[in-house]
Amino acid sequence: MTYAVAGQWPGGFQGDVRVTVTGAPVSGWTLRWTFGGGQQISQAWNGTHTQTGANVAVTNAAWNGTITPGTPVTVGFLASWTGGNPAPTAFTLNNLPCTIG
């Protein structure tokens, strides 16, 4: 998976998370990560997000509920930040660690 800041401005940014699987398809997925700089998501697309404090969970949308090998899913979001915008350092997909690359 990859994490990228697609654009940033004072106090806000657009983030993109791209998930690719190997092996078997993954159906009914939840992607989780923790922000380290006070970031708060205000809007997301290609998934439904919830956020409690720094902890974020994104579940699949109706149209991308299965991630098949070789066909990545991208989740995008708009968020605010205060004091800095460090990238998350760990992600899980259905509670299994993801390789960031």
For the stretch 17-50, pLDDT in tens is 999 999 999 999 999 999 999 999 999 999 999 9
For the stretch 1-12, pLDDT in tens is 999 999 999 999
Contact 29, 65 (CB under 8 A): yes
Task: Spell out the domain ranges in the chain.
Answer: 2-96
In this prediction, residues 65-83 reach a mean pLDDT of: 95
Give, in words, the CATH class of 2-96. Answer: mainly beta
List residues bridging with 4 in a β-sheet.
Answer: 16
The fraction of the chain above a pLDDT of 90, given in percent, is 95
How far apart, in Å, are the Cα atoms of 86 and each of 21, 34, 41, 90, 96?
A: 25, 11, 14, 12, 22
